[in-house]
Each structure stands twice: as structure tokens, then as C-alpha cells.
Structure 1
Amino acid sequence: MRLPPPSSPRHFIPKVSVPEAKGNSLQFPRVLPIGLSRLSTYAELTKPELTGLSALTSVFAYVLAADSQATWLTAAMVGSGTLLVGGGAGALNQLIERRFDAMMKRTEHRPLPSGRVRALETGAFGVLLALAGALLLWIEAGPLPSFISLLTLALYLGIYTPLKRKTWLNTVFGTIPGALPALIGWTAAETTPSAGGWFLFLFLVIWQFPHFFSLAWMYRKDYERAGYHMLSVQDTENAHQTHRINLLSTLSLLPVVSIFFYYESTGPMAIAAAVSLTLWFVSISAKPIVRGLTNTSTTRTINADSRNLFFASLLYLPLVMILGLVSRA
């Protein structure tokens, strides 16, 4: 008697990995337990690197604004709430862009394109995370940080995400939700952000230009394949526009970081250290410009310089944050 096929996609026959013989030994594949594998898939949906950085930014802003009144509990709750809302935004972003993620080598193995999770499941997960994060912020930090977190979500999904397929200015608009976690943390300590909070917000807006433009250059072929309107796709082969914007952005950080540290009353030594860090960041962004002026620029150096600037941006931001905290201790 033939058995009927399963009536629900939830009923499936698990795949069994058979060890391969190599020489006189058997090679057993490393397999995660089902529970850990599922948790890992959900973690991928949250874009942990991006959301983790946003959470750290909110905690940094809260500790600076609250100063001696800061508590470990509130700092942890502010960071957790920001992490949850950011994770929800990441999951919903992947839901919206799942068809295009499948076209890019960098993202084709994400949970949705690889079939490890369903669209409905991703949507429910993203909404629940975002609501949980906003509720946590409301309870522990107040309505304003909670509102800013939901505003961040709305701008990220409603403005930045669709603009990626229309104009390279999507990055400009995307810097706003990217910098708002600073105001989440700041308003957890102050009802209205002071000048220091707004300068921190401006600092993060500017920092994102070299960070994301260098990343976009590294993956420009991927973005072009998926139909994204990024500056790197429209730029010339020598990345003239990209390099120029990156240099102008890092130079713009000099007055902003100086004023920010001045407002936070950290003293001349801290200001000098922050300016020195920023000058180092400027020097990294200036390298491709110098190569272009001296006719020593090649495809290899352009790609290498973009990669170096991207990793320099990842180092520069936490160093500035650490400096701000240490100088206030």
C-alpha cells in the first residue's frame, strides 16, 4: 500500500549526513544541535553586528548624559531595548529584501534566501522583537526613548530601505536612523537632549558616510547585480566621487568631535586625543586621493584603500567612545 504524501510542510523527512571515507578514516561533518541551529538562524535575522553597534551607541550616550546618576540596570535596559528594536528592524529589512538578497553573493546565504526560515515566521519575529524592545524602553527609560526607537524603525524600513532601489542618496537618508540610537540613550537620561547629545548625533551621522560608502565600494558588483542604486555603482572606475565624499566626511568630523568633547567638559587632553584619532581617520581616507593626484592609483589599490577605510571606521568609533567614557571617569 502506498502512503499519501505529507499534508503539511511541517512534516518532513530529516536529512541524514553520511560520513565520507577519506583514506583509512571517516570524516564526520560538524552539525549543530537543532535548538542551537535554530537560535543561530534567528540571530542572523537580527543583523547582530549592526544592531550590536547601535546598542553600544545608545549605552554610551546614556552613560555620558547621566554621568554620576547612571546605573548599571538602566544602561543594560537601554542597550537591550535598542538591541531588540534594532534586531526587529533587521529581520523586517531582510523580509522586504529577501528576493534581492538572493542575487548577492554577500547575502545569498542569509536565512530567507537559503530557505532556513519562512517569510511569515520572519515577519512575526521582527514585529515581536521591535514591540518588546519599545516596551522595555518605555518601562525603564520613558516614552521618549521608546518613541525614538520606533521612529528609527519606521525611517529604516519606510525611507531608507525602499530608497536603495531608487537613488544613491539612500545612504544620506539612512544616516538618520543610523544615528538615532544616540538620542535613545541620551533621552533616557535627559528629558530633552542637550547640545552634547545633538553633537553626538551629528558625529554619528557624518561617521556613517565613510563607513557605508567604503563598504558599498567593496560590494559594488553585488549591489549592481541586485539593482541597488548605490553611489559605488554609479561612480567611475577610479571611485572619484566616493573618495572625495569620504575625505570631506572625515574632515567634517574634526570640528564636530572637538565641540562634542568640549561640551562634555572632558578637558584639553581628551580633546587633543580625539582630534588625533580623527586626524588618523582622515589620513586613511586621504590615501586614495593622494594616489589619484600622483597617478599611482590602480584597481587593486582602490579596492585595498576602501577596505582599509571600512575597517578603520570600525576601529575609530569605539575608540572615540572609550575615550569619552575614560575622560569622564
Structure 2
Amino acid sequence: MKTALNTLKKTYSFTSIIEDFKQLTKVGLAISVVFSSLAGYLLAVGLDGFSFKVLALLALGGYFMVGASNAFNQIIERDLDALMDRTKDRPIPSGRMSTTTAFIIASVLTLAGIVILYTINPKTAMFGAISIFLYTCVYTPLKTKTPLAVFVGALPGAIPFMLGWVAATGNFGIEPGTLFMIQFFWQFPHFWAIGWFLFDDYKKGGFFMLPTGKRNKATALQIIMYTVWLILISVFPATGLTGELKLSIVAAILVFITGLGLLYYAIRLYKKMDNKSAKALMLASVGYITMIQILFVIDKFLQ
């Protein structure tokens, strides 16, 4: 009986450690970022140039880099996280993990991530390092200072989609630049929707997430504007002006229709001005970016 209890305690302890690591690195967000990177890679390579090794390295290195950014973010914001309902149970503010332990994990993930991405090519590692720096040293401190933090945060947030292309080619040009812009504009309706329905909780931590600082018509109108720009840049590859990044007319129509769906939810938020509509917009934005990345990749291999 005693042995069984000891085994149960060890299992529970191991499970708790894994769960804290997942929360520290924000596993859900990290996986979505890795998905974007892999989509960018598949867009750049043909069937002849495909490499499972590079794909695996990109996935692992990408997860480490995103995980490191999230860990550093939680170290910096530990006192503020303790004030908000959605973050007070994170490993550091809850007391389950020390700041030192979190810093060691974040540092190891950073070094490992850069080394792994460097084995793919130097530019991939460079952009990965830039994303960590911008997210940790610029975006995070600005969150309590100005709504412009979202614009700054959109820069590292837009890197994953283009990172896959750079990993495949070793070059940065119009193609990864277009992928960057797609994910850049996508973040505004996505994060402003989150900032809307979590407005009261963010206020407890002193975070400024909405462009006007308020849940008003002006904020909702900006969400609509950025959604329109997102749709336009998403179908732009169909013009043939984006180098090797191409989109067929059929795929462009499907992407456009998907965009209209997202625009519907943005307009609904403008009309209703409630948290339910903001949550619906957030979910629609996740569906949008996932769907168009899949459409881009499928279209690539059907051409």
C-alpha cells in the first residue's frame, strides 16, 4: 500500500510539472504558431524539396522560441498576473514555480531554439531571436503603457508564417513579406476581440489592449478596417505580383469568402457592442487564419 501511495505521489508530481510547463510556455498558443510556421514551409517547397528533418527542426525550434517568449513574459508580468482572474493560477503567481526556475527554463528554451533554428539556416535563427526580443523587451513592457503595444506585439506575432518560408529558402523577399503582412493584419481583429471581452480583467492588471482604450464604436470600427485590410492582403497573391507565392482564382475566391465570414462577425460586434459578439469574433479569427493557411497549402500542391 505504501509503495502504491508513493508511486501515486510521484505520478501526480510529474503530471503537475508537465502541466506547469505547458502553462508557462502556453502550449495552445505555441502549437498554433508552429502550425503557421509549418504552413509557411510547405508553401515554399515543392514535393522534390520537402524535408521531414527540416520540418521537425522547424516545429521543435519554433515551439522552443515561442515557449521562451511566453515564459519571459510571465516572469516580467508575475505581479500583474496575480491580479487577474484568467492568469492568477499560472505557475509563477500561484507560487507553484519560482521565478528562478522559470528563468532557467526560458533561457534554456531560448538557447536551444536558436541553435535548432540555426541548423536550418542563419536567417531562420535570426528572425526567431528577433521575435523573442521584440515580444519580451518591447511588447511586454508597453502593455501597461499604451494601446500601441498591440501594434508592436503584432511584429513578432507575424513572424511565424514567414519563418517557414525563410527556413525553406534561406531568403527573405516578397513571398515571406506577404505572409508576414497577412499574419500582421490578422492579429488586430483577433487580439482586440480578446481585449474587448476581457476588458475588465485586463483593467485589473493595468493593461491597455484596445486602440481607443474603451469598448466603443471607434474601437469596433478599427476592427472592421483592419479586417478589410486583412482580406485584401490575403487575396493579393492572386494578382501574380508576389513572386513564387501564388494563389489560384478558385483559392482566392474561397479565401475571400472566408474573409467575408470574419467581416460579418466584426460588423456584428460594431452593431451589438457586447462580449458575446467579441468572443464570436475571436473564435472566427482563429478559424480564419487556420483555414486560409490550409487553403494556401492545398492550392500550392494542386497547381
**TM-score when scaled to structure 1?**
0.84
Give the alignment's Cα RMSD to 1 decimal: 1.9
Query: Does the 8 Å CA contact 1:145/1:183 hold for their aligned counterparts?
Result: no
2:237 is matched with which residue?
A: 260
**Does the alignment pair 1:62 with 2:41?**
yes
Which of structures 1 and 2 has the bigger CA Rg? 1
The alpha carbon displacement at 1:52 in A equals 1.3
Whether the 8 Å CA contact 1:214–1:307 is kept in 2: the answer is yes
Matched, 1:303 2:280: no
Alpha-carbon separation, structure 2, partners of 1:132 and 1:265: 34
Moved more, 64-73 or 162-171: 64-73
Q: Distance in 2 between matches of 1:155 and 1:42?
A: 22
- Cα 1:32–1:244, aligned 2, differ >3 Å: closer, same or farther? farther
Q: Aligned with 2:117: secondary structure?
A: helix
- The 4+ residue runs of structure 1 with deviation greater than 3 A are none
What is the aligned partner in structure 2 of residue 284 from structure 1? 265
1:316 is matched with which residue: 264, 267, 288?
Answer: 288
State the match for 2:69 in structure 1: 89
What CA distance in whole angstroms lies between the structure 1 residues aligned with 2:124 and 2:237? 21
Q: Distance in 2 between matches of 1:158 and 1:104?
A: 22
The aligned counterpart of 1:274 is: 255
After the TM superposition, which of the residue ranges 191-200 and 145-154 deviates more from structure 2? 191-200
1:234 partnered with 2:213: yes
Do the aligned partners of 2:163 and 2:176 also contact (CA within 8 Å) in 1? no
Q: Matches of 2:248 and 2:212 in 1, distance apart?
A: 43
Match of residue 57 from structure 2: 77
Is the CA contact 2:269–2:281 (under 8 Å) kept in the aligned structure 1? no
In 2, Cα distance between equivalents of 1:229 and 1:235: 9
CA deviation after TM superposition for structure 1 residue 77, in Å: 1.0
Q: Per the alignment, in what secondary structure is the counterpart of residue 188 of structure 1? A: helix
> What secondary structure sits across from 2:46 in the alignment?
helix
Which residue in 2 is equivalent to 1:120? 100
- In structure 2, how many angstroms separate the alpha carbons of the residues matched to 1:260 and 1:222? 39
Question: Is the partner of 2:295 in helix, strand or coil?
Answer: helix
* Count of matched residue pairs: 290
Assess, with a 3 A threshold, how the Cα gap between structure 1 residues 42 and 288 changes in structure 2: closer, same or farther: closer
Q: Match of 1:24?
A: none
| Secondary structure at 1:234 match in 2 | coil
- Residue 266 of structure 1: CA displacement? 3.2
- The counterpart of 1:192, out of the listed 158, 167, 171, is 171
Q: 1:27-176 maps to which residues of 2 (within 5 A)? A: 33-68=12-47, 69-139=49-119, 141-176=120-155
CA distance in 2, matches of 1:108, 1:314: 25
Maintained 8 Å contact 1:281/1:316: yes
8 Å Cα contact 1:224-1:233 kept in structure 2: no
Give deviations 1:63-95, integer Å, cap 9, x for gaps: 111233121221121111011111011111101
Contact (CA 8 Å) 2:65, 2:128: kept in 1 or not? yes
1:246 paired with 2:223, answer yes
Report the Cα offset of residue 108 of structure 1. Answer: 0.4
Return the offset for 1:112: 0.5
For 2:10 and 2:288, how far apart are their aligned partners in 1? Answer: 37
Letter in 1 for 2:54: T
Out of 179, 203, 209, the residue aligned to residue 224 of structure 1 is 203
Instruction: Determine if contact 2:68/2:110 at 8 Å carries over to the other structure.
Output: yes
Contact 1:148–1:183 (8 Å) recurs in 2: no
Higher helix fraction: Structure 1 or Structure 2? 2
Change (3 A) 1:303 1:232: farther
Q: Structure 1: any 5+ residue segments left out of the alignment?
A: 1-15, 17-29, 292-296
Structure 2: distance between partners of 1:193 and 1:63: 16
Which amino acid is 2:251 matched to?
A: A
Q: What letter corresponds to residue 53 of structure 2 in structure 1?
A: L
**How far apart, CA to CA, are the structure 2 residues paired with 1:181 and 1:138?**
15
Counterpart position of 1:21: none
Question: Could you tell me which amino acid in structure 2 is paired with residue 171 of structure 1?
Answer: V
Cα deviation 1:284-323 (Å, max 9, x = unaligned): 111133x2xxxxx4xxx61111011000011111100111
Q: Distance in 2 between the 1:77 and 1:173 partners?
A: 27
* Identical residues among aligned pairs (%): 28
Deviation at 1:249, TM superposition (A): 0.8
